[in-house]
Amino acid sequence: MTMRFDLVSRRALLAAPAAIAAAQPALAQQSALVEAGSQGWLFPIWDKIDRVDATSLRENVQLIAGAITALRGGRMDAVLCLIPSRKRLMRQFLPASSRYSPDAERRYSLTMAEVRRAGGLVPDLDARFREVLTREPNRPLFWKTDTHWTPVGAETAAIEIAKQMREQLGMPASQRPGTRLGDLRPMTLAAGDLTHYVPAAQRPSYGAEDSMIRQILPAEGVASLLEDDVSDVVIVGTSNVQPRFGFQPVLSNQVLRPVGLSWRPNNVGPYFTLLEYLKSDGFRRQRPRALIWNLLEPDVPTSPNNSAWGQMAMPPATFLSEIRRLVAQ
């Protein structure tokens, strides 16, 4: 089972020229790749909220739903971990001139509806995060200067996804336990990945950020950590689900079983990452009972053949046909 580590995981350097040109003139003096919001928040310009091609959005949502159908056809439960946009949830900190277009507003709900229609399990993390932020507005679910969620956000999502998996998937009890967790401990993010695109003179104004992360305890009665090859649940996704933020161990703890992980930096793209896992020795050795595919809401309108994915781009038809071929083996 593959496990990869990379702290800077966005495709900023692959951003389309048109997106860079669309940056507001006042912000261009700071960076063509980030927008400076209020109270120290930075936002990536590649999360386009002012305009979305409705046709491309609909076509790509149907492609994602088709991938879920193909996975289910391969005798697996398919779960979509759809992470809502930082801009959507923290919009009060966006620049005053920012406006959400109607199509950008419906990216999340449209994707969720189509994937559910295809038989996939899609917990509504947008609604869950809003509940938490309403109850505890100062609870940091996302970093201010980084594209990722905090460990608190990752834990919130893992608990919600695990709850729905237990309720809806009818998974039998595992013979191996989930990850043991302890108390929360402090975690400091020295510099968010978005600060790399702020002029050097301005970077000192964006300081370190703090969150809390769950402590992982040694397994009881087991000499070593649980191995991925005993997992009947696997997470496949972006750097949001990397071990650094604690999503995997919390999910394992909550679904009461080992959970495998295969992830790649987001500039590789969710489509290549999914196919890479399905081609892996780990998948051929043991097909999981449930596959959790992690996607970012801002990436939903981006087709597999978009140049943003670089050499990993592929025609949509190739993506679907490859999934069907790999799960049929």
Please provide the size of the chain in residues: 329
Structure-block tokens of residue 58: 């609909």
How many degrees, rounded to 5, is the angle at CA 18 between CA 13 and CA 22?
A: 100
| Beta carbons within 8 Å of 52's beta carbon, 6+ residues apart | 101, 103, 104, 107, 301
**C-beta of residue 271 within 8 angstroms of C-beta of residue 315:** no
The 10 Å CB-count burial string (b at 16+, else e) for 194-220 is: bbbbbeeeeeeebeebebbbbebeebe
| Beta carbons within 8 Å of 87's beta carbon, 6+ residues apart | 43, 47, 49, 94, 98, 298
| Beta carbons within 8 Å of 23's beta carbon, 6+ residues apart | 31, 32, 33, 35, 45
In angstroms, the CA 154 to CA 245 distance is 6
C-alpha dihedral over 243, 295, 108, 308, to 10 degrees? 120
Structure-block tokens of residue 282: 């780990």
pTM of the model: 0.89
Rg (CA), the chain: 19
Cβ neighbour number for residue 40 with a 10 Å cutoff: 14
In angstroms, the CA 46 to CA 167 distance is 36
**C-beta of residue 34 within 8 angstroms of C-beta of residue 194:** yes
Strand partners, 216: 181
In angstroms, the CA 160 to CA 156 distance is 6
Q: List per-residue pLDDT tens for the chain, 329 residues long.
A: 433 323 333 343 333 333 333 333 333 334 679 999 999 999 999 999 998 899 999 999 999 999 999 999 999 999 999 999 999 999 999 999 999 999 999 999 999 999 999 999 999 999 999 999 999 998 899 999 999 999 999 999 999 999 999 999 999 999 999 999 999 999 999 999 999 999 999 999 999 999 999 999 998 765 444 444 579 999 999 999 999 999 999 999 999 999 999 999 999 999 999 999 999 999 999 999 999 999 999 999 999 999 999 999 999 999 999 999 999 98
DSSP secondary structure string, 118-181? TT-B---HHHHHHHHHHH-TTS-SB-SSSSSBPHHHHHHHHHHHHHHHHHHS-PPPPSS----E
Amino acid making up residue 86: R
Q: Nearest Cα to 214, choosing from 152, 258, 271?
A: 152
Q: What is the pLDDT of residue 13?
A: 32
* Class of residue 193 by CB neighbours under 10 A (exposed 0-12, middle 13-18, buried 19+): buried
